[in-house]
Amino acid sequence: MRGTRFNCSSLLLFIGLWSIMLARGFAAPISSFTPPTNITVRMYRLLSGGGSTGILCSSNDTSYGCTALVGDSSHAYPYGTNNPVTIPIETDYLLDVVPKEVSVEAFHPTAIQAQAIAARSYAYWHIRQGSTINNSTQFQVFVPYAFEALPSAIFPDNPGNPCASGNLNNDQRIVCSAVAPRCYIAYGTYPNDDLPAFAEYFADIRDRTISGGQSYLIAVDDPISSHPDIVQDGHGHGMSQRGASRWARGNRGYQGTLDPWSVRWERAEQVLAHYYTGVHVRDASGMRLTPDYRWNPLRITWNTPDNHPPIMYHGGSYPVSVQVQNTGTYDWPINGQWWALSYRWAKAGFGEIASSNRAWTTVDVPKGDPPYTFSLTINDIPNWGPGAYTLKFDMLLFTYGGTYWFSTTYGWPTYDVSICVDGPCKVYIPLVLKNYP
């Protein structure tokens, strides 16, 4: 019933990365895994929280779990006498899983895309394992018509391909955008490094996740999820759904209603690389969309009363600390390699200038956890006059063979903050502290 195809949000990143890899003589990865197109699900009537009642859905069943439109005989269990049922992953299964696993209205769209990628990966893993999958919380909640029931309920005018419909409501368009890229989380050792990950996820946890049963499910610090009212909800392995929305909003509240945080991530890949250690994101053809060398800022300390970046003046000196997580596939050793946090200045009409200020690692930084805190002093503002500048934080790798920025060499994004220089500025609030939806 449903679906359309788009490229992943990071396809441009991949194209740049792929060109660099080819130029440097990297071998193209061999795809050993073919993503499935269908999934077989045993359908049960469900409790309100998604648990199974143990009663199988049947023809014309209007119970919850068999349909999201309980009691509506015109939208009863849609698969007749078939149970288990085999359905398309992209145009049926995921469109109904995503809105049952996260609130489309409450969560940031970037977190919803991360959820779609995790849910797809989780389904792929179980299919590859030969699991007997059902529609309850034992796996991930799948309820027919959950997509159609998103408020205000609209039935797509193209039921065979809902995301190509012309009458979708806003929530349905958000789900379609999240599902459309068809990316999944992969792990493994070359050449079998495209296998789907057991991408566990859960509702919420405070401060730190919990290690699971896979090498990529290690516990990681989650400082944005530090509000004292947070109560653990779920097993704690892998991605925190509410934590993902907090990072996407740059706010201690997953709905964006609490204190702003000093960091905001714009890409689903950043969220996934934070919660799943050492993995890659791949597209439907198996192409790798993430580089091996990656980093995420977890916290920035500006040493100001409100922790907003200060207005900076030429000739001034401004200390800043950045807590960094190594989100790549390799540790950062200090034996024959050197790692530093640095930055570049940019301003419209003036291009970019790299700073010579660098904060070096003094110990090995393992992938995933623990993070490492760099301390820098910003004292080299270019002479471009007053106004809004962009401070582009980036990691550097130094080897005997050369110096490599993570952004320009490997294709991982810089972390950009808008800085007001010599004020006043029309806008000087950092990008990460804006009131994003």
Distance in angstroms (rounded) separating the CA atoms of residues 354 and 198? 40
- Structure tokens given for 370: 């623990």
**Global confidence as pTM:** 0.91
Distance in angstroms (rounded) separating the CA atoms of residues 98 and 121? 13
Instruction: Find the angle CA(120)-CA(121)-CA(125) to the nearest 5 degrees.
Output: 120
For residue 290, what pLDDT is reported?
97
CB burial of residue 391 (10 Å; 0-12, 13-18, 19+)? buried
Query: Is the Cα torsion angle 14, 15, 21, 22 positive or negative in sign?
Result: positive
263: left (phi over 0), alpha (psi -120 to 50) or beta: beta
Element (H, E) at 16: helix 11-23
Q: How far is CA 153 from the centre of its chain?
A: 28
What does the pLDDT look like over 39-94, one tens digit per residue?
A: 999 999 999 999 999 999 999 999 999 999 999 999 999 999 999 999 999 999 99
What does the pLDDT look like over 268-280, one tens digit per residue?
A: 999 999 999 999 9
For residue 32, what pLDDT is reported?
80
- Structure tokens given for 217: 């499910």
What does the pLDDT look like over 94-139, one tens digit per residue?
A: 999 999 999 999 999 999 999 999 999 999 999 999 999 999 999 9
Domain ranges (residues) in the chain: 11-282, 295-433
For residue 8, what pLDDT is reported?
58
CA dihedral 279, 282, 286, 292 (to 10 degrees): -50
Q: Is 255 within 8 Å of 244 (Cβ atoms)?
A: no
Which CATH class for the 295-433 domain?
mainly beta
Strand 133-134 vs strand 38-42: parallel, antiparallel, or unpaired? parallel
Please give the full DSSP string across 92-107, using - where no structure is assigned: IIHHHHHHHHS-TTTS
What does the pLDDT look like over 366-415, one tens digit per residue?
A: 999 999 999 999 999 999 999 999 999 999 999 988 999 999 999 999 99
For residue 270, what pLDDT is reported?
99
Q: Is 241 within 8 Å of 204 (Cβ atoms)?
A: yes
CB burial of residue 174 (10 Å; 0-12, 13-18, 19+)? buried
What is the number of residues in the chain?
437
181: three-class secondary structure by DSSP: coil
CB burial of residue 346 (10 Å; 0-12, 13-18, 19+)? middle
What does the pLDDT look like over 219-264, one tens digit per residue?
A: 999 999 999 999 999 999 999 999 999 999 999 999 999 999 999 9
Answer yes or no: is pLDDT of 25 > 50: no
Q: Is 104 within 8 Å of 150 (Cβ atoms)?
A: yes
Residue 387 burial (CB count, 10 A):
18
Answer yes or no: is pLDDT of 24 > 50: no
Peptide bond between residue 152 and the one before it cis (omega within 30 degrees of 0):
yes
